[in-house]
Amino acid sequence: MTKKWWLTILICGNVILWLIPSDVAEILAEDDDLIFEMYSLSKFATQMIFLLVTIFVMDIALRDNKKRCCLQWTILALSVAATSFIAYMYLLTTLPAYFYQKTGNVVHRIPAQKTSGFFRDRPSSNYLQKYFPRVPSHHFTLTTDKNGFRNLDIPETADILVIGDSFGEGYGVSDNETWSQVLQNITDKRIYNLSVTATNPVHYYHNLKKYIRQFSPQLVICMIFEGNDFRKYRIKSFANASDRMLRRRIKKRLAHYLRWRIFPWTSDYCKLKSISWLPLVVPTASKNYYHFSAKKIHNMYRAPRKIIGSRAWKVVWKALADIKKEAQEAQAEVLYVYVPCKTRVVMPLITEHKWEAIHSYLGIKAPFSSKFATHFFEKMDSIERAFLQKSEQENFQVVSTTTMLRQGSAKGRKLYFTYDDHWTALGNKEIAEFIAQCIKK
């Protein structure tokens, strides 16, 4: 084949790659960003690399002095790489310290810091933000004590220690709106919160072990979130946290600037039948909207058989047993508070599901039937049932917030954010009141 034919094949290959879109429905189901409303970030990067290689090959093929051409391209590539590296390192070193730090086995935030800003409740995907209802932003403050935990002050002793992740710490709300602060106000008990966002039961144990004898509590409240506590069982490395945060910001910026539609045949969200049933609306007078990525529904449906009895499940239970043992040695009781996913709280409240679309998205081979909904909810609740059963065998004191959250949401109270999976200020308040009743009993 002649040089002309090879160049033609390369050009046609590029055109075909750019004309074939990614699976938009799958990308949106995972709440990821779209480039030009039709490509995933990985596909876009692959196409750009192939395009640059094509330009390089064409330039060499069409020039007489090929050595000089190769040298010019090498200099250009090295210059771009060096400039990008210097710019990246500059941004990395000038970024403020990452929110989470690790001292030994103890994970905490930056000590003695007060942060304020606006919490924006919106879909992660830039594409979905055009189609879904907008939610007003709200102002919040986040204060850490000298130990690096979210407390307004450090008492000499505490009646209650709290351990957990973002649900224990209070995510998306101000300091005085977190459930632990509200619980302290309504019970007049001294509460010290050791919870840190993005941690897991292994971290809970190490944080408790470090501070339980300093505060001598009567009670330890351990929050267990079913969404990720049974998956993240290793102690995370926080050494590269700033690097991960910067890369995430760069990806978001890139998706923001390349969000425009360039081809008219790109699918509209309303035409993507497999996920067009989101966001869901709870049928109450207040008409609250709730969105969760279809991936999370998929996880709640598929996860039980992968989680129950898995290595992660066993390691988490060991951590929970160690928490109980550590508390008993310090003469304190432990109350485990089970926290369900927003998906599992909200979906049973909605009467008009597009069950065929959900069935199609989950990729179930069996034909759709009217019994699918019943089977769907039974599987979604199986992790909690297994947890409560195991807790009874281990003689753990456990309370579940699932029924309380469902009842409150069914009455039209906005306990969860629309897009984010955490509790609103009202949700934190009702959790505090619920735990206060449990403590009295």
pLDDT tens-digit profile of 315-363? 899 999 999 999 999 999 999 999 999 988 988 877 666 777 777 766 6
Beta strand extents in 123-206 (DSSP E only): 138-143, 160-163, 191-193
Is the pLDDT assigned to residue 306 strictly greater than 60?
yes
Q: Which letter, b or e, does each residue of 330-340 get, where b requires 16 or more Cβ atoms within 10 Å of its Cβ?
A: bebebbbbbbb
Round to whole Å and give the CA distance between 324 and 398: 12
Q: Which residue has the higher pLDDT, 301 or 426?
A: 426
User: What residues contact 1, with CB distance under 8 A and at least 6 apart?
Assistant: none
Mean pLDDT (the chain) is 83
Q: How do the domains of the chain map onto residue ranges?
A: 103-236+267-440
Pairing state of beta strands 289-290 and 280-281?
Answer: antiparallel
Beta bridge partners of 35: 39
Structural contact between residues 152 and 134, judged by C-beta atoms closer than 8 angstroms: no
CATH class of 103-236+267-440: alpha beta
* Backbone angle region of 164, left / alpha / beta, with phi > 0 → left and psi within -120 to 50 → alpha: left
227 torsion bin: left (phi>0), alpha (psi -120 to 50), beta (else): alpha
* β partners of residue 100: 109
Distance CA 358, CA 418 (A): 20
Looking at residue 247, its pLDDT comes to 72
The stretch 176-204 carries a mean pLDDT of 95
Task: Please give the angle made by the CA atoms of 422, 424 and 429, to the nearest 5 degrees.
Answer: 115
| Tens of pLDDT, residues 198-245 | 888 999 999 999 999 999 999 999 999 988 877 654 444 454 555 666
- Distance in Å from the first CA to the final CA of the chain: 85
Residue 336 CB contacts under 8 Å (≥ 6 apart), including other chains: 222, 223, 224, 320, 391, 396, 397, 398, 399
Q: What is the pLDDT of residue 93?
A: 65
Residues 349 and 235 sit within 8 Å (Cβ to Cβ): no
What's CA 1's distance to the chain center, in Å?
52
> 222 pairs with which residues across the strands?
163, 336
Which pLDDT belongs to residue 311? 81
Split at pLDDT 50, 70, 90, the class of 275 is low
Nearest to 356 by CA among 345, 348, 366: 366
Beta bridge partners of 337: 223, 399
Contacts of 364 (CB under 8 A, 6+ apart): 372
Mean pLDDT of 395-411: 94
pLDDT in the model for residue 250: 74
At residue 235, the pLDDT reads 43
Taking the C-alpha atoms of residue 348 and residue 358, their distance in angstroms, rounded to an integer, is 14
Q: What is the DSSP string of 253-305?
A: HHHHHT-S--STTPPPGGG-GGGTTPSEE--STT--EE---HHHHHHHHHHHH
Specify the pLDDT at position 263: 60
Nearest partner of 439 among 409, 389, 405, 399, judged by Cα: 399
pLDDT of 270 above 60: no
Backbone φ and ψ for 40, nearest 5 degrees, come out as: -75, 160
- % of residues, the chain, pLDDT over 70: 83
Q: Using the predicted structure, report yes or no on whether residue 267 has a pLDDT greater than 60.
A: no
Peptide bond into 123 cis (omega under 30): no
User: Tens of pLDDT along 28-65?
Assistant: 766 677 787 778 888 888 888 888 888 888 878 777 78
Give the orientation angle of helix 201-215 with respect to helix 311-329, to 10 degrees.
0
Residue 142, amino acid: L
pLDDT, tens digit, 9 for 90 and up, residues 55-108: 888 878 777 787 888 888 888 888 888 888 787 777 666 665 556 777 888 989
pLDDT value for 234? 47
Query: d(Cα 164, Cα 142) in Å, to the nearest integer?
Result: 17
Greater pLDDT, 418 or 369: 418
Mean pLDDT of 159-165: 97
Q: What is the pLDDT of residue 245?
A: 66
Least confident of 15-29, 167-181, 225-239, 285-299: 225-239
Helix H or strand E segment including 322 = helix 311-329
Query: What's the CA gap between 8 and 76, in Å, rounded?
Result: 25
HSE-CB of 219 using CA atoms within 13 angstroms: 16
- Return the higher-pLDDT residue of 172 and 288: 172
For residue 279, pLDDT over 90 is answered with: no
